[in-house]
Amino acid sequence: MIRDWPVALEGLHHGTNVRLRPMHARRDRQAFLVLRRQNAAWTRPWDSTSPYPGGGSSFGHVVRVQQREARQGRMLPFALDVDGELSGQMHLFNIVRGALQSGSVGYWIAERNAGRGIVPFALALMIDHAFGPMRLHRVEVNIRPENAKSLSVVRKLGLRDEGIRRAYLHIAGEWHDHRSFALTVEDLDGRSAVHRLHHESH
């Protein structure tokens, strides 16, 4: 097993510093709770939920569980910083090794930073790390068909549309179809995802 945690990924996008780094249970708690509260209406239609009623876990507990999963090589749970300020999250999860060598990416960003190309750039950083140091072969992103903003993210990077997965994920209290998009090492043809993003955008 290739262990690659903790790690941080960073780059400049049109003069904006974009950084993916581990979340800290104590240091980030207050900023995270404020950010989620401020963006509740913005994220609620797309937030995953549990189909089984029950109490939610605390922020600290969730972070500790995710860090354990990261150390065991099953996910990369990143905080998304924009110019040094917590602004969202991006996770590489469901990492499967063996013959598959694949992982899935999920993300959200604060409304104030949406539409600036930050999420596509952060996703490109994640994909380059997944295909480079992580040595994965495939990365996928699953998106509700009506989530136009998220669909534009994967299209900017040229991810392949692989069709609909029926009742794929429990979102906002109901099971929803998702459209599956994927990229493999071969799709990049030796280029980085960051390079592909810049190429697809011009």
Per-residue pLDDT of the chain in tens (202 residues, 90 and over written 9): 456 799 999 999 999 999 999 999 999 999 999 999 999 999 999 998 888 876 667 999 999 999 999 999 999 999 999 999 999 999 999 999 999 999 999 999 999 999 999 999 999 999 999 999 999 999 999 999 999 999 999 999 999 999 999 999 999 889 999 999 999 999 999 999 999 888 766 5
Give 180's contacts (C-beta < 8 A, 6+ positions apart).
Answer: 140, 141, 142, 161, 162, 163, 164, 165
φ/ψ of 38, rounded to 5, equals -65, -25
What's residue 156's pLDDT?
A: 94
Separation between Cα atoms, residue 172 and residue 36, nearest integer Å: 15
CATH superfamily of 9-200: Gcn5-related N-acetyltransferase (GNAT) (3.40.630.30)
Of the candidates 109, 199, 103, 104, which has an alpha carbon nearest to the alpha carbon of residue 156? 199
What's residue 81's pLDDT?
A: 98
φ/ψ of 176, rounded to 5, equals -130, 145
Q: What are the structure tokens assigned to 182, written together?
A: 């994927």
94 neighbors 104 (Cβ within 8 angstroms): yes
